[in-house]
Amino acid sequence: MMPQTQRALIRRATAADCPRMMELIQELAVFEKAPEEVTVSLDHFVESGFGAHPKWWGFVAEIADPLHKTATVVGFALYYIRYSTWKGQRLYLEDILVTEAWRGKGIGQQLFDQLLQETKDKNLHGMVWQVLDWNEAAIRFYHRNGAKMDPSWLNASLD
């Protein structure tokens, strides 16, 4: 059975969206089995995206409720620009998430398509991201969009 498509309004994130985005980030952390790993404060998140020197940009997916004349953010995509010595500037997709109740309705695809357009509009040399090896639904989604997976690189970090 084909999933039902729901058109969302995809728009640039604003500082006013940050509290809802933080809720969705926490939902993502629970899904990824690491809710205690989210340590960023709302103030830092807002400043990093909308302060004097933004470090990230994003889009939100909004569903309108015409009856109540409201709209709800049901997903987001957050990115920044990274530099590759081999490829040049690339869009780095940090997170893309659609809240569980709205998954399977094409909203993630709308967000992904907007990121692809942003990559083109900014004249970047591609888009890169990571996906957990057990997140089969996301891996299928990325494969459907023509992504190549590279299992030869290991993630490294310092805290």
Point out the residues that are catalytic. 142
State the Cα–Cα distance between residues 95 and 136, nearest whole angstrom: 16
Q: Is 53 helix (H, G, I), strand (E, B) or coil?
A: coil
Q: Return all residues near 57 (Cβ < 8 A) that are at least 6 apart.
A: 12, 13, 49, 78, 79, 80
Q: Tokens 């509290």 appear where?
A: 19
